[in-house]
Structure 1
Amino acid sequence: MKNLILTIFLISILSGKSQSAWDLQTCIKYALNHNIGLKQRALNNEVNKNTTEQSKGSALPSLNAGASHVYNFGQTIDRFTNTFANTQVLSQNFYISSNVVLWSGLSQYNNIKSNEYNYLSGVELLKQQQNDLSLSIANAYIGVIFSEEIVKISQNQYSVTVEQFERTSKLVTAGALAKSVEYDIKAQLANELVNVTSAKNNYQISLLTLKQLMNLDSVTNFNIERPQISLEDGQLLENNLQNIYETSLKTQPSIKSNEYSILSAESYLKATKGRISPTLSFNASMGTGTSGLAKDILGVQATGKSSLIGYTNSGEGVYAPEFDYITKPKSFSNQFNDNVNKSLGFTLNIPLYNGLQTHTSIKNAKINALNARFAKDLTEQNLFKSIAQAHANAKAALDKYNASKYSVEAAEESFKYAEQKFNAGVISALDFSTSKNRLFAAESNLLQAKYDYVFKLKVLDYYQGKPLEF
């Protein structure tokens, strides 16, 4: 039996030495860097950021250039020579154009502001998700510490029972005690061995829960540091409920996110209203081109022939000599320079009726702006309820912790006397086991109350924007 308890402690010691210790901040940092949900939220923020940049770019002048290379077959009018063509003709066109909106009822400006506020709202949402994850990590971290303490208590209880069993066995062998007493202690020993095994399993489950929250699966020998946690009775009373709530309104990212959402919705409403205004834009363009029909005239020569061009008053025919033009195809460079055309202009667009699209958009934008305000009010209400509940829970946990301390003191005294009486043969093994179990329950309740109180204090720190650390 001694070998069994020694083996249990050696396993615990060796496993503790082989594991790498992580403190709370290291666990939180790792979780923030490896959480998939946070990465997705960050990517969404990048999309919102790109949307903001694109809306800014839309307010800048546009600049476009293009070219075309066209073969025409059949009869057509060539745009560069203004002559008929009935054969294959190659024409080329080159252009560059620019357009800028000079006035649109500030619709573009307010759209930019709306996208900027939407991006900032997403940034605060990411911070809120990070804070929520950090709080969950802290809870799981404390859960690991608590479960390990339960393991130590159960092992100590088991060790005491082992010693009692050995003492009882000797007394039974000597004939001082009945064999049934040894059986009772042996049954108690078996139950406490089950408690040790259960406590160790709960400890491993607590570690697994923490690792899963951290998205950690590559470290097999994972363990955490055990901070020294001291509790002060007046620690809770540093800030009252109202002070904590007022502080949280300034520090909680969810509140800031809602404020940015309101600004975004209001800016979008202004941008939508701006669509009613006439839009004035300025545009400019420059183009040129070439045609296969364009030719340069080198000279003229008479053909010796003449053609009838009309009649005199007396009815005699009038003839004119015919000439042939000596030409050559016009060069690309000459055509490119000669065919340049430029244009400047202003365009005024006055919206009169577009199927009630603008009117409907304005009504929906008003609803969204009002809904954003309701969302902020609801968030503030839920925040106050959560803080009030956390504050009440912390007070209750402190009261339970103080009561549990007295319970442990009483249980320790009771067990000490029970052990003495049992060794003297005054009480039965059942009474001894009952006293021992009562002490174990009291110690477990004290630990649970202690770490529950610690976590409740961390929740209040969380709402005040304080770092989660011991």
Structure 2
Amino acid sequence: MNKNSIFTVVFFLIFALGSAQENSWTLTKCMETALQNNIEIKIRQLEIKKTEKSQNSVLNRMLPTINLYGEQGYNFGSTIDPSTNGRVSSNIQNDNFYLNARTNMIDFSAFANAQKDKINIEQAKAEKEVVENEYKLQILESYYQVLYAQELLKIQKEQLKQASFNLDRVTKEVTIGNKPQSDLYDMQLSFSEEENRNLETEHLYAIKKIQLFQLMNIVDVVTDEIVLEPYLNEADKDFDNELYNPKIKLAELNYQNSLQLIRLERAVNYPILSAYYGYSTFYYKNIKQANANTDSFFNQLEDNKSQQVGMQLSVPIFNGFRNNKKISASKIVGDKAKLVVEQEKQLLDKQVVLEEQNKRNYSQLQHKLMEKQKFAKASLATTEAKFINGKVEAILYSSVKNQSLSADFEVLKNNLQLQYIDLKINLLKKNQL
């Protein structure tokens, strides 16, 4: 074999392997792709960025505010001459400039607001995780619905093959006179029923796959060529015992935020110590006395400047009990948020208890189904031997064969259900597979 032939073979092998991987989807791949395509999650991510940009630290809140003001005015008629502070009958042009700076050196509301900003960021992240967790549960359910239909279709195709084989065999025997015509009618009816069931399952399988990929916001794939992987190692992962549910975390953050709101309302009753600095100057000109001996613009700004430095202590005394009412209302909001935390924990506990009971039920059923599968295989082996020797009718052999295939599917379906429950419990308790 020459080099070109070898390269061609290698190329086609790599292409075939890549195509198989592309058409085979695991639950992990579905989840990762879905999370990347979900618009609601992208919106929540932008909300997190917006909240982070809006955050102000304590230092940032303590930075001084500086304002520069400038104004130009004209006074006509009787007015005050700024140079003498005496009333004169003339027209005066005034240009005033102010520079003010103020900072709060002690402000308890700044500490409360800074802490509240941090909690707001964590809240935005928790809200995103809640959306992700609910979305993962939807993907998980849809994924396993497709798996059920996919595995059922495999079983029914095997049943259809067996029905076709039996139909051909009975048709030949009827033709040569070894079987009565009634046996052919029975086999034709059985084969028709198998065809109808197979077609219904194919339709269900196609619909469920389309629904799954629509849920993942994927529209550029041919779902007919997609195959889901039925067995997942992810379900066997071991996690620590620490509970992490996004809904509970969000409820706890809401409670913490309500406590900060109480602190913020109480801060209004505390004194505020501020430091300030002011700088001002002005220029004036008597418009009627154009030839008057008036200092130049910059000389006047230099001569008329004044500065002011000071500290101010503001102590709230009485506000009509309005703030006390706000504090009382905030405490009620905090008590409500605390109850919501307990409510979310109760709802999660109830849901997990139900899922764990379902898991125990399916585990017990698995043992019985495996026994049934064992008996069905044994019955099939003996019936097949009798059928080959012509001791049983084809319709009986077909029925036993279908019973064996159905037993195989029941075991497989129950195993898939156990996988589904394990993964669902992991998502509920840990927010991961």
> What is the TM-score when the length of structure 2 is the normalising length?
0.83
CA distance in 2, matches of 1:139, 1:80: 85
Please point out which of 241, 250, 255 is paired with 1:247: 241
Q: Give, in whole Å, the separation in 1 of the partners of 2:374 and 2:358.
A: 24
Q: C-alpha distance in 1, partners of 2:233/2:38?
A: 31
Equivalent residue for 1:452?
A: 417
Aligned partner of 2:197: which letter? N
* Corresponding residue pairs, total: 415
Call closer, same or farther: CA 1:460–1:87 in 2, change over 3 Å: same
| Counterpart Cα distance in 2 of 1:360 and 1:289 | 47
CA separation in 2, counterparts of 1:154 and 1:61? 77
The equivalent of 2:263 in structure 1 is 270
Q: In structure 2, how many angstroms separate the alpha carbons of the residues matched to 1:72 and 1:264?
A: 55
2:374 matched to 1:409? yes
Which of residues 168, 171, 193 is equivalent to 1:169? Answer: 171
CA distance in 1, matches of 2:260, 2:38: 33
**Alpha-carbon distance in structure 1 between the residues aligned to 2:141 and 2:221:** 21
Structure 1 pair 86/409, CA: closer, same or farther in 2 (3 Å)? Answer: farther
Residue aligning to 1:394: 359
Alignment partner, residue 8 of structure 1: none
- AA aligned opposite 2:315: I
Of 285, 290, 298, 1:292 maps to 285
For 1:156 and 1:247, the matched residues in 2 are separated by: 44
1:61 alignment partner, one of 64, 67, 74: 64
CA deviation after TM superposition for structure 1 residue 255, in Å: 3.5
Specify which structure has the higher proportion of helix. Answer: 2
What residue number does 1:256 align with? 249
Aligned to 2:349: 384
- Cα separation, 2, equivalents of 1:115 and 1:279: 21
Counterpart Cα distance in 1 of 2:342 and 2:393: 64
Q: Deviations over 1:243-266 (max 9, x none)?
A: x8x8243x3344433333333222
**Deviation sequence 1:149-194 (CA, Å, 0-9, x none):** 2121111111111111111110111111122221221222222122
Q: Paired residue for 2:98?
A: 95
The counterpart of 2:221, out of the listed 219, 222, 225, is 219
State the AA in 2 paired with 1:130: E
Q: 1:186 aligns with which of 185, 188, 207?
A: 188
Q: Which one is further off, 215-224 or 274-283?
A: 215-224
Instruction: Report the 3-state secondary structure (helix = DSSP H, G, I; strand = E; otherwise coil) of the residue aligned with 1:125.
Output: helix
Instruction: Name the CA distance, whole Å, in 2 between partners of 1:35 and 1:149.
Output: 28
Partner of 2:318: 353
Q: Secondary structure at the match of 1:142?
A: helix
- Listed as ranges, the gaps of 5+ residues in structure 1 are 1-12, 297-324
Larger Rg: 1
Unaligned runs of 5+ in 2: 1-15
DSSP-derived class of the 1:292 partner: strand
Question: Identity of counterpart residues, as a percentage?
Answer: 23
**1:41 equivalenced with 2:34 (yes/no):** no
CA distance in 2: counterparts of 1:231 and 1:71, whole angstroms:
81
SS in 1 for 2:226: strand
Of the three residues 306, 318, 327, the one matched with 1:341 is 306
SS at match of 1:327: coil
Amino acid in the other structure paired with 2:79:
T
Deviation at 1:84, TM superposition (A): 5.1
Does the C-alpha gap of structure 1 residues 48 and 363 become closer, same or farther in structure 2, counting only changes over 3 Å?
farther
CA shift, 1:230, in A, is 7.7
CA separation of 1:173/1:377 partners in 2, compared to 1, >3 Å: closer, same or farther? same
* Deviation by residue 1:396-454 (Cα, 9 ceiling, x = unmatched): 12222222222223233334444555566655565455434433443332222111001
Query: Is contact 2:66–2:102 with CA below 8 Å preserved after alignment?
Result: yes
Tell me whether 341-350 or 165-174 shows the greater mean CA deviation.
Answer: 341-350
**Could you say which residue in structure 1 is the equivalent of 2:139?**
137
Q: Which is richer in strand?
A: 1
Residues in 1 aligned to 2:251 and 2:229: alpha-carbon distance in whole angstroms: 38
The question of whether the paired residues in 1 share the 8 Å contact of 2:72 and 2:93 is answered with yes
Which residue pairs with 2:154 in the alignment? 152
